Amino acid sequence: MTDTDQIVEPGAQVSPEMTKSLCKDLSIALEKFPKVRLGHLPTPLEPMDRLSEMLGGPRLWVKRDDCTGLSSGGNKTRKLEFLMADAQKHGADTIITQGATQSNHARQTTAAAAKLGMGCHILLEDRTGSNDRDYILNGNVLLDRLHGASVSKRAGGTDMNAEMEALAETLLAQGKKPYIIPGGGSNAIGALGYVNCARELAEQAASTGLHIDALVHATGSSGTQAGLVAGIAAIQSDMHLLGIGVRAPREKQEQMVYDLAQKTADYMGTGLTIKRGDVRANCDYVGPGYGLPTDGMIAALKLLAQTEGLLFDPVYSGKGLDGLIDQIRKGYFDGMENVVFLHTGGSAALFGYPDTFGLPGYSD
């Protein structure tokens, strides 16, 4: 027993000293999992003062996971640090993963494989039906190829897990040692990256005396939120976590996050029980569907580009921001002082959507 094994009363605030000590315990617990260094960590935590002033709500901060560095950065880098180490542990020489056409996960995986000298096969599912040249060739797809991956397409609605298994069989027969990473890198191994992020953020806040009331981010394949839920529980933080959905309806999204958060906690061997009530997703900002632009996303993305000089993406972080801004206006965060938006990256996808923003040409 260390003095940090005590449980804080529900609702009571953990002191900064105790937070630091719980964070230290968590980083020791994470050390038993192999990890390769791929990202620039810790990522900065920065105020967004012009945006805060404009919206008149709580003070807004941004956790810059768009700055993880790997092939223009993003949230998949933290997951890949654990996933690629697991692939190495299994003696893999080839990585297989899947995603939507403009998948940021695919792009970061191709870069990680290149850095570690592994082959990489990407299966891209056409979820939007768009045949726009930029959408299918530019942005993340361009970078996938630049990193040397083989890229193949599948029709929308394909069983992508079955496709990855079939490809693995083919590669095995050719004498390769394939390793399959699930879509979004979202399993208990990948989610460890966001358990670690929860710790990193709590330490950053504790070291500057900042009390973070809420953390908001875009949630898709659920590994990011699941890791954060498990990490926040492990350090007994009272931080209110809210995911903004980009695809599934609320019930389904919350269930996915909850299941993976519990699996992640079990995998860590912490004996933690995840509370269903700690899993919150608002899925009102998806619009017509995954990867399809909404007016709210366009307005939010332009607002941040023009008030904070920050770039977000049309599929995830832009819709997440739309949710954050709208919920501030609706009073969801009333009474809170500090709200952090986790910037999960994705701006490389902007070049797959050049006509979405109705931008003017040259001024003269």
Q: Which of 74, 75, 92, 79 lies closest to 186, judged by CA?
A: 79
Q: Using the 8-state DSSP alphabet, how is residue 359 labeled?
A: -
Nearest approach, Cβ of residue 15 and ligand PLP (Å) = 31
Residue nearest to ligand PLP (CB): 346
**Non-local CB neighbours of 158 within 8 Å, separated by 6+ positions:** 125
Q: Using the 8-state DSSP alphabet, how is residue 182 labeled?
A: -
Q: Which of 139, 71, 142 lies closest to 109, judged by CA?
A: 71
Task: Yes or no: say if 195 and 266 are a contact pair by the CB < 8 Å rule.
Answer: no
The span from the CA of 352 to the CA of 359, in Å, is 15
- Residue with Cβ nearer ligand PLP (113 or 226): 226
Any catalytic annotation for residue 221?
Answer: no
Nearest approach, Cβ of residue 2 and ligand PLP (Å) = 32
Nearest approach, Cβ of residue 68 and ligand PLP (Å) = 11
- Residue with Cβ nearer ligand PLP (62 or 171): 62
- Residue with Cβ nearer ligand PLP (103 or 327): 103
Footprint on this chain of ligand PLP (rule: CB under 6 A): 74-75, 104-105, 184, 186, 218-225, 313, 316-317, 344-346
- Residue with Cβ nearer ligand PLP (58 or 139): 139
Catalytic-labelled residue, pool 72, 103, 237, 347: 103
Count the Cβ atoms, other than its own, within 10 Å of residue 299.
Answer: 15
Q: Where are the beta strands (DSSP E) in the chain?
A: 45-47, 59-64, 94-100, 119-126, 150-155, 178-180, 214-219, 240-245, 281-282, 338-343
- Residue with Cβ nearer ligand PLP (197 or 206): 197
Nearest approach, Cβ of residue 103 and ligand PLP (Å) = 7
User: Which residue has 């875009």 as its token pair?
Assistant: 218
Nearest approach, Cβ of residue 5 and ligand PLP (Å) = 30
What residues act catalytically? 103
